[in-house]
Structure 1
């Protein structure tokens, strides 16, 4: 059946009795592709029946279907003209792993961050109303973890006071990437278990016509309810109970691991055995394990994450000190101000957030932390280019958007030992907030669990002395620079190149920079953030202020949104690979 479907109009030719077979075929297709090509698995398996029912009942793309986050949209992509190219998912020049407006007119709204669907669909619904269009449906599919976010609540609050044709599908499976948390999750659990709320229905209190909960894997019920809701006026909410990973036993039983499991055996469902080779650690694990190590001696250490305990490795802290580690759900704004409140009471608060998600709490960083000089310790995981997750997830803006905020220290350790040392330094009691950024993936050191050394704030370090061209790196870009310099074999060239790890872009090490500008005629800056307003810009500002005439060349992310591909591919395309750095130095010499 799946082979005969290119677009939803083909799907609608089948009888409802045929759809369970199609669901099985669609599940198998997703499993077989993701097992080999990798990607997000559990979320899309959990909404196979819902995806089929939505495209069967509604006249997409004329009816507007908005997916929240996008992890759950693989089935949607396969049924909307992308089955034949789905194997390119998340690969360079292939289709995106998330809904993307430029990719298909069935992708009505691009999404990578959570909790945006209700706002977007409400905007579409009001636009239809203003245009006098009465026969168009507007549907937002939202996970239970996403609906607990502040933005989703804001949208519900607004939508409940509008007479719009808006349908919110609450995909309730009790888990986002990690298990859902909070009072709303507990409320939904009661609805699920008891068949009806023990208290007044929270959605009806917001003026939504509530129906459910219904079995999200029963196509007959889904089709019936969706057909009925097409004719119900005003904002409505359908509560659907699903199982993340449905149809693959291991994905149902281990939902965290099978959210994005990497490659696995499609026939058995088993993950491939892990290599016994000793590898450098992931930076997130260096953070997580070091935090526990520090917390054993410092009872004032607190850990906070907005719904990313496993991704950020705060799980180590949660296991060791559950009363001192908090998952606040998908609520980045709350996480930052909650951290600030804790820090006012003398606690050393490590707020770990993916770089791309910290963007969502920008006002709180400025207003609630930096303005008041509250020493929150921000640990920015997934800084720089993150690879296959693409444009919505690259952490390339943080240097630029943080550097301009007064009272904030901005640091990027070049390796695992430096990360440990800055974490150690931060918990000793800084007077100002600090942002510590580190990348996705593994570092370079096997012997990383060394004793701690305090780092002087605002002090860079000379890694290699030279006399003609100085390369100033920020963060783990130092590795690319070292690799590039190692390619030079002529003694004169080797002697000409200096390399400096600046460590901090705020405050800058002006003593070291003065020495550099007085020694080298040519200076190259290298960063894995945007050039516009980033680390290199801070060096140019210093040179301008001090009236230096040295030639300064900036290497960083160009002024464009970078799409998906492997990190190596994207670094090469962005001009910051070791190869790019080598040729830039070669040209200068």
Structure 2
């Protein structure tokens, strides 16, 4: 944009990309470096190498980066080993050239980055300002093409609690600044992630074909336990979701039962592979989708708003959502038993609702929901963990003499046609609710009702979905309040659908 005359507030300066050693293993990083080396435009990549992503980095590239600075040339000559000799002031060039030659001896034909067309500087100590700042000033003055500056840092540097933490202080709750102690409220129920992890372990103990794939999130997805118990069957592909999906597809093609375990928003990165490498080939990859719905402190970047929509429109896919932690156990068992094509199940961040967890999961009948309460007038069809909020709303409505029917859909694809059509036939109004964006479960229900001509008979239909905005970080309850998907919002939707909301509000 700068070279083409583009404009931006404050003007356009240098193009600078800062990337961690955990992230640089992603395919898009190599696509960008390949393109930058071809364009030969002036730009700077700062590789922040702290040997730490959310989990310890894995893979051949991580080992390569370690070799770049673990040998004696860096330790003995780090002040001279500043990389691209032509970019340094004359007095430093000879010493830097000797150090660079020694570093080059560690690889064939120079560093990988130089082979991609970058001038490579480093490794340098990112905490030594006397070393770092002169290098940055020099390259800013002299660079004409792409430059990669390899900076070694320590995550949490300068803050003892973070330095001592295993995850270096990533994604903490509120904490005491002096001690680093996190202020977490006591849990009343196990987290959905823990329930999934323990269920998968039990299934894997009975079936040696079960394996697990994660993309640099073994702790976040609960697969760290699986990796400890079954290391030969657990694969961390680093921050490379596209590859992770295709790798899972290949495992499935080879007769294994892979659980591709990723956050909803991270799976979005591998959507092309979900379509071409899994769905088209009808391979039985099991997608365990964590962080479904709104996720509180992780904010909009991690909110699982779209997976129901982007998976339910794919031919041959089975898409489930657990209403509580007990149902999640059954969905893990369902996925294990399902070999007819790809299957996905979603569950939220945080703790469950406190129901009794079964000792062993029992496979669900594909495409079948269930009635939770029999009522009259209006039916609420829930998909996912809003079911508890629906029940709370109906308890409040009962005090007003309104007794909706409640159904748990369980499946967005295939839909339980018989259940949905029966609800539509027996009630004046039907409301669907889900922790996802428009285009998901409610849209598929509306399509079914339209094709069956149900709307021709006057059914009132409403769909409660996440709003068409990105919701800012807050507590999960506050975020769902913005989305109008809490119990009080469901109650208000029922009253409005029945045409009596205005009467109630006037009395209040």
TM-score over 0.5 for the pair? yes
For these two proteins, the number of residue pairs brought into alignment is 458
> What's the secondary structure of 1:388's corresponding residue?
helix
| Alignment partner, residue 454 of structure 1 | 363
Deviation of residue 166 (structure 1)? 0.3
Q: Deviations over 1:212-257 (max 9, x none)?
A: 1011101111111000111221000000000011112232232416
Say whether 1:478 aligns with 2:387.
Answer: yes
Q: Deviations over 1:463-513 (max 9, x none)?
A: 00112100000010111101111112448413xx10000000100001111
> What's the secondary structure of 1:285's corresponding residue?
helix
Contact 1:156 1:206 in 2 (8 A): yes
Say whether 1:224 aligns with 2:134.
Answer: yes
Q: Structure 2 stretches of 5 or more lacking a match? A: 75-102, 499-508
Take 2:497 and 2:174, find their aligned partners in 1: how far apart are those partners? 43
| Alignment partner, residue 525 of structure 1 | 432
Say whether 1:543 aligns with 2:454.
Answer: no
| Alignment partner, residue 186 of structure 1 | 63
| Alignment partner, residue 130 of structure 1 | 4
Evaluate the alpha carbon distance shift between residue 167 and residue 257 of structure 1 in structure 2; reply closer, same or farther with a 3 A threshold.
closer
| Alignment partner, residue 265 of structure 1 | 176
Q: Structure 1 stretches of 5 or more lacking a match? A: 1-126
- Determine which of 464, 469, 489 is the counterpart of 1:580: 489
Take 1:253 and 1:322, find their aligned partners in 2: how far apart are those partners? 26
Q: Deviations over 1:270-297 (max 9, x none)?
A: 445x66x562111111111111111111
Q: Deviations over 1:399-456 (max 9, x none)?
A: 1111111011111010111111010121124211011111111111253243322200
Contact 2:370 2:408 in 1 (8 A): yes
> What's the secondary structure of 1:221's corresponding residue?
helix
- Give TM-score scaled by structure 2 length: 0.87
Alignment of 1:211-360 (within 5 A): 211-230=121-140, 231-256=142-167, 258-271=169-182, 279-360=188-269
> What's the secondary structure of 2:138's corresponding residue?
helix
- Determine which of 399, 411, 416 is the counterpart of 1:504: 411
Q: Deviations over 1:487-542 (max 9, x none)?
A: 12448413xx10000000100001111211110110001011112x1111111111
Query: Over aligned residues, Cα RMSD in angstroms?
Result: 1.8
| Alignment partner, residue 142 of structure 1 | 19
Deviation of residue 565 (structure 1)? 1.8
Take 1:483 and 1:346, find their aligned partners in 2: how far apart are those partners? 44
Deviation of residue 567 (structure 1)? 1.4
- Give TM-score scaled by structure 1 length: 0.75
Alignment of 1:39-188 (within 5 A): 127-131=1-5, 136-188=13-65
| Alignment partner, residue 15 of structure 1 | none
Evaluate the alpha carbon distance shift between residue 135 and residue 353 of structure 1 in structure 2; reply closer, same or farther with a 3 A threshold.
closer
Alignment of 1:196-211 (within 5 A): 196=103, 198-199=106-107, 200-211=110-121
Larger radius of gyration: 2
Contact 2:324 2:355 in 1 (8 A): no
Take 2:112 and 2:467, find their aligned partners in 1: how far apart are those partners? 46
Evaluate the alpha carbon distance shift between residue 257 and residue 479 of structure 1 in structure 2; reply closer, same or farther with a 3 A threshold.
farther
